[in-house]
């Protein structure tokens, strides 16, 4: 199985298919490289984050952070000798893609930031931190199978179960096989400690890569953060998928693939533009 080694000596499992302009997919907390099987139709690279076998599961908590998740994308590009790529991230991967965009602007051909916003609302920070710690303890104290079953039935995941019971069951079964230790360390080190999007406005304003924000209209924690990113990132467009929850690439892969394919084409032919400043004024009807 192919692995690459990051600059802090962690081995990451990855898969690469196709040819042409590269796309790197960054998975969500409850997913892994298999989450993007339906999207692997370009020159695509998907990798398992640290903590997700067959990638390494480092023992030390300091090996897990938002900064490290961001830098692991760079490590993938460096190891595969890719100068720049379209970066697609969902949820935890969306946060990593966002941070990658304003930290390494010369390495991103474009950004797709999907399902990004959990725990970002200022009035939900304490609640999210407490829930993240409770979930981490569940992974450690009960079987991974039982903890995964509860996690897969969260309020923004039942939409997937209702639309596609077989697909949802496959997703839940894959989650149940994840490393309990890696999941707990990732929940504490990456999820619970990452900064709120509302504290990153200045950094988001510096993003120059074409950006597509995507969210389901029933992915409640991500709706307002999605609007925030649309308003703040000068190159951003926003797609809200109807009657959809969190795992939009699995819930509605046809629509998800169509949106990102159109986006990549527009970027690759040089037709994606920054927002016209005249569209951002305080008046409602104009002069």
Work out the burial of residue 134: count CB atoms within 10 Å of its CB; fewer than 13 is exposed, 13-18 middle, 19 or more buried: exposed
pTM of the model: 0.90
Q: What is the band of 180 on the pLDDT scale with cuts at 50, 70, 90?
A: very high
| Cα–Cα dist 158/163, whole Å | 9
Mean pLDDT, all residues of the chain: 94
Residues near 255 by beta carbon (within 8 Å), at least 6 away in sequence: 241, 248
Q: What is the band of 286 on the pLDDT scale with cuts at 50, 70, 90?
A: confident
Work out the burial of residue 230: count CB atoms within 10 Å of its CB; fewer than 13 is exposed, 13-18 middle, 19 or more buried: middle
pLDDT beyond 90 at 38? no
Cis before residue 203, ω within 30 degrees of 0?
no
Tell me the average pLDDT across 235-239. Answer: 98
Q: Tell me the torsion sign for CA atoms 14, 16, 20, 24.
A: negative
Tell me the average pLDDT across 59-66. Answer: 94
Residues near 264 by beta carbon (within 8 Å), at least 6 away in sequence: 21, 23, 42, 86, 110
pLDDT beyond 70 at 42? no
Tell me the average pLDDT across 92-113. Answer: 98
Q: What is the band of 19 on the pLDDT scale with cuts at 50, 70, 90?
A: confident
Q: What is the band of 21 on the pLDDT scale with cuts at 50, 70, 90?
A: confident
Specify the range with the lowest mean pLDDT, choosing from 19-33, 146-160, 260-274.
19-33
**pLDDT score of 29:** 87
Tell me the average pLDDT across 97-123. Answer: 96
**pLDDT score of 1:** 77
Adjacent-strand bridge partners of 154: none
Q: Are 7 and 75 in contact (CB under 8 A)?
A: yes
Tell me the average pLDDT across 202-215. Answer: 98
Sheet containing 236-241: give its strands across. Answer: 3-5, 11-17, 43-47, 22-26, 85-90, 108-114, 211-216, 236-241
Higher-confidence position of 178 and 121: 178
Tell me the average pLDDT across 64-92. Answer: 97
Adjacent-strand bridge partners of 89: 26, 113
pLDDT beyond 90 at 41? no
| Cα–Cα dist 216/109, whole Å | 24
282 alpha-carbon distance from chain centroid: 32
| Cα–Cα dist 253/214, whole Å | 13
């Amino acid at each position: 199985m192919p692995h690459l080694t990051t600059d802090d000596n962690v081995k990451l499992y990855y898969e690469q298919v196709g040819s042409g302009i590269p796309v790197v997919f960054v998975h969500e907390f409850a997913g892994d490289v298999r989450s993007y099987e339906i999207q692997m139709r370009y020159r695509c690279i998907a990798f398992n984050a640290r903590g997700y076998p067959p990638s390494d599961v480092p023992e030390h908590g300091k090996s897990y952070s938002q900064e490290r998740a961001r830098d692991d994308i760079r490590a993938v590009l460096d190891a595969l000798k890719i100068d720049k790529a379209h970066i697609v991230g969902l949820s935890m991967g969306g946060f990593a893609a966002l941070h990658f965009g304003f930290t390494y602007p010369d390495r991103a051909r474009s950004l797709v930031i999907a399902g990004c916003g959990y725990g970002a609302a200022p009035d939900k920070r304490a609640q999210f931190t407490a829930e993240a710690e409770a979930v981490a303890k569940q992974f450690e104290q009960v079987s991974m199978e039982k903890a995964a079953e509860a996690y897969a039935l969260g309020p923004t995941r039942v939409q997937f179960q209702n639309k596609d019971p077989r697909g949802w069951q496959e997703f839940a079964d894959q989650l149940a096989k994840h490393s309990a230790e890696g999941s707990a360390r990732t929940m504490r080190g990456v999820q619970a400690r990452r900064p709120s999007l509302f504290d990153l406005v200045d950094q988001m304003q510096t993003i120059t890569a074409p950006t597509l924000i995507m969210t389901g209209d029933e992915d409640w924690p991500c709706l307002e953060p999605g609007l925030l990113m649309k308003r703040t990132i000068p190159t951003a467009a926003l797609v809200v998928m109807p009657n959809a929850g969190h795992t939009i690439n699995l819930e509605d892969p046809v629509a998800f693939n169509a949106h990102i394919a159109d986006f990549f084409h527009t970027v690759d032919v040089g037709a994606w533009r920054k927002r016209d400043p005249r569209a951002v004024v305080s008046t409602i009807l104009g002069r």
